Structure formats: structure tokens, C-alpha cells
Amino acid sequence: MRLPSSKVGKLEYLEQRVDRWDADPAAVGLASGQSAAAVQSTQQARAAYDAMLAARRHAQAMHDAWLGAIKKAEGDGRSCLRSIVTFARNSPQPDIIYARASVEPPRDKAPLGRPPTPPALKITLDTQGRANLAWGGTRHGGTVFTVQRRTTGVDHTIGPWETIATVSERKFVDQATPSGVLNVMYRVRGQRVGGASAYTLPLTLPLGSAGPQASVAGAIGPVRTSGKDAG
């Protein structure tokens, strides 16, 4: 015969039996001292278990009290710091105020420079033959994205880059995807107050002189151009 596997299960199992054993030890093959010891140790185990649960509840209450107290202290401290900074800024000698308050003067925010070049430019054609562009990169500081396009005609003449959109999202659908050309190229750059990034390497969609066809749109993927097309 085995006791239950869990510690609490063992305790409950014994609690349900030791008093009965101790009532008439000899009837169940026990010595009186043997059953009495089991009764005492089981009672001690119950007391220790209840004390542990109480300690856990107390510890949780103390932890909750700590979180509430530090949140209140943080709020009050931030309020004081804001008042000190405001007072110092309006003082003819702000450094004296900061030193008196043992507060480090706030640092001037560094101006944002130009954003990084948008990474991971991808282009696919949808079932309507429109070029769908997507890319990565930051939108921090009000970054917007300029999309440019150029085409290669059936006579292999490469046209100039043309700006076709400036968008705030990191995606763009070219509603006027050219047709009747060999291919169309796209590139993207980020721009904000601090300047503009370099353009991405151009991606080329081969179209053929008949233009994009919905029946093969799913098979057309982005192809990187050679370096001479990046100019």
C-alpha cells in the first residue's frame, strides 16, 4: 500500500486515519506508542503547512504593498522633478538650482539625422497586374518614404527615375503600373527633417512588351538589377 504522491495528499490521507489507528492500536496491529507518534507528527505537519500558507499570503500582501508604495513614490518623485526643472529653467542661474536639488540638468535632445535606407524591398504583381511594394525600416521622427519608378522600353531604352509617390506606410500599390515595356524598376528611400536616406537598390519586374498579365502574375518575382541600373 502506498501513500498518495503529493505532500498535501499524504497529509490528508494520514489525517483521515491516524486518530482511528490510535483509538485501538492493537486492533490494527500497532503499538500504542507507534500510533501516538503518527498522530503527533501528522498534527505538526498540518500546523507547519497552515503556517506556510499564511506566510505565503503575508508575503504576497507585502509584495503588493511594496509595488503600490513604489508606484506612489515614483509618481511623487516625478512630480517633484518636473517642478524643479520648470523652476530651474525660469531661473537666471539654473545650474545653482540643479546643484541645490542634487539633480542632473536635463540633456538637450540630439536632433534626428537622416533615416537608414529602407531594408528588404520586395515587389510582387497582384491579379490585376499592379506592382505591390513592401519594405522595412523605421517610421521614427515622422519618416516618410519616397517611391521612384523607371522603365525599360521595348527598344531597351532606360527611362529616367520618376517620383510616383510619397507615403507614410511601408508599402505602396502602383495603380498605374506601366504596360507595353520590357520591365519596370522601383526604388525607395526614407526622409524626415534630418535628411533623406540613400535609395534602395532598384528591383526590376520583367514584363515583356505586352505588359503584366494576370495569368502569370504569381510567377513574377523581384529581380535585383546590376550596379549600372542603380544610378
Rg (CA), the chain: 38
Which tens digit of pLDDT belongs to each residue from 51-86? Answer: 999 999 999 999 999 999 999 999 999 999 999 999
Per-residue pLDDT band for 220 (boundaries 50, 70, 90) equals very low
Averaged pLDDT of the chain: 86
For residue 230, what pLDDT is reported? 41
User: Grid coordinates standing for 27?
Assistant: 486492533
Per-residue pLDDT band for 17 (boundaries 50, 70, 90) equals very high
Q: Identify the structural domains of the chain with CATH numbers, from first to last.
A: 7-84 (no CATH), 122-229 (2.60.40.10)
Q: Is the distance from CB of 137 to CB of 170 less than 8 angstroms? A: yes
Mean pLDDT of 116-142: 90
Pairwise CA distance, residues 123 & 116, whole Å: 20
For residue 209, what pLDDT is reported? 55
For residue 208, what pLDDT is reported? 67
